[in-house]
Amino acid sequence: MEKINAVITGVGGYVPDYILTNDEISKMVDTNDEWIMTRIGVKERHILNEEGLGSSYMARKAAKQLMKKTGANPDDIDLVVVATSTPDYHFPSTASILCDKLGLKNAFAFDLQAACSGFLYLMETAANFIRSGRYKKIIIVGADKMSSMVNYTDRATCPIFGDGAAAFMVEPTTEDVGIMDSILRTDGKGLPFLHMKAGGSVCPPSYFTVDNKMHYLHQEGRTVFKYAVSSMSDVSAAIAEKNGLTKDNIDWIVPHQANVRIIEAVAHRMEVPMDKVLVNIEHYGNTSAGTLPLCIWDFEDKLKKGDNIIFTAFGAGFTWGAVYVKWGYDGKKE
């Protein structure tokens, strides 16, 4: 019996048309382009500002493009999983809305919540459904409308985040490519440092929570930065060592796009030159679960079959990890 592995066979992405620049942000809060670029590395971010549209809208755009590019028949999709911290509704799931919008009749679907590590966890989840032998075509989507929880009077957080979504098709293969290995971690120590206080079952919405701005993202930047650098660096080094990967045979590192200084620190620790690190934070900001697949969507034409790629991320919780992927096809400009 040949060993079944899960391979990524295509990617689709979407970012909204409206671009929020640093100059615009500097009119909202006391900051400027130079400060934002030096501290965070973001020049612009895409914002979904049309009334009544949420994460499922961006997820649908990304998944539609993915299905078109891969020639997928809607009836053949077995499973849809969406990683998001900004679902359209508490319930039903964003993934269920996606199934309806895509006309999928034979899939089951659910959301996964691991904040900025969401897509990392998705890859491992999809890979195991494929390895079980029961599922053949899985769509995984990272989609976040971060603008829905950002306080645009908070100069510490408002320049960081943007909106966007991207999707992978994951299918079985017997070739020596695909999602090869992962190390995923959660420690639960991050609650005080990165959360949204109100809106959940502990603190339901009320006039008090709204008046006190408790429905916005709260982040203690220094603490989160420190944890992110050490966690992403350690876990990337660990998965490389476990799989005999060195700076010479790692083709690409795909890090979560939260802060350019975190990305540089991870590359430095891995002794990998920055030209092997996929970075697009300048144009998108932190799209949470969207960052990893949006990187691949952006740079797909650089990827070659057999490339050794390490994905790594860190998110609220704290959640973090690394996934080693041997890329499954030669990327090309559409």
| Domains of the chain, residue spans | 3-176, 178-325
pLDDT in tens, 189-234: 999 999 999 999 999 999 999 999 999 999 999 999 999 999 999 9
pLDDT in tens, 144-154: 999 999 999 99
Sign for the CA dihedral angle at 170, 174, 177, 180 comes to: positive
> How far is the C-alpha of 60 from the C-alpha of 172, rounded, in Å?
23
Tell me the percentage of the chain whose pLDDT exceeds 90.
Answer: 99
pLDDT above 80 for 123? yes
pLDDT above 70 for 333? no
Q: Which residues of 114-139 are buried (b: 16+ CB within 10 A; e: fewer)?
A: bbbbbbbbbbbbbbebbbeeebebbb
pLDDT in tens, 153-171: 999 999 999 999 999 999 9
Q: Is residue 259 annotated as a catalytic residue, yes or no? A: no
Q: What is the CATH number of domain 3-176?
A: 3.40.47.10
* Euclidean distance between the first and the last CA atom of the chain, given in angstroms as a whole number: 37
Q: How far is CA 295 from CA 166, 281, 292, 300, in A?
A: 9, 9, 5, 8
> How far is the C-alpha of 278 from the C-alpha of 263, rounded, in Å?
9
Q: Can you name the residues that pair with 11 across neighbouring β-strands?
A: 168
Q: What is the CATH number of domain 178-325?
A: 3.40.47.10
pLDDT above 80 for 334? no
Q: Is residue 116 annotated as a catalytic residue, yes or no? A: yes
Q: Is residue 22 annotated as a catalytic residue, yes or no? A: no
pLDDT range class, residue 2, cuts 50, 70, 90: confident
| Active-site residue, selected from the candidate residues 256, 259, 283, 295 | 256
Q: Return phi, psi of residue 106, to 5°.
A: -115, 15
Tell me the percentage of the chain whose pLDDT exceeds 70.
Answer: 99
Show Cβ contacts of residue 316 under 8 Å, excluding neighbours closer than 6 positions: 85, 115, 116, 190, 194, 195
Instruction: Write down the pLDDT at residue 1.
Output: 72
3-176 and 178-325: same fold? yes
| Active-site residue, selected from the candidate residues 5, 22, 259, 286 | 286
> How far is the C-alpha of 70 from the C-alpha of 65, rounded, in Å?
9
pLDDT in tens, 22-52: 999 999 999 999 999 999 999 999 999 999 9
Burial of 218 from C-beta contacts in 10 A (0-12 / 13-18 / 19+): middle
DSSP sequence for 82-144 = EE-SS-SSSSS-HHHHHHHHHT-SS-EEEEE--GGGHHHHHHHHHHHHHHTTS---EEEEEEE
Instruction: Write down the pLDDT at residue 162.
Output: 98
Q: Return phi, psi of residue 67, to 5°.
A: -65, -35
DSSP sequence for 13-81 = EE--S-EEEHHHHHHHSS--HHHHHHHT--SEEE---STT--HHHHHHHHHHHHHHHHT--GGG--EEE
User: How much is the pTM?
Assistant: 0.98
Instruction: Write down the pLDDT at residue 182.
Output: 98
| Active-site residue, selected from the candidate residues 116, 283, 295, 308 | 116
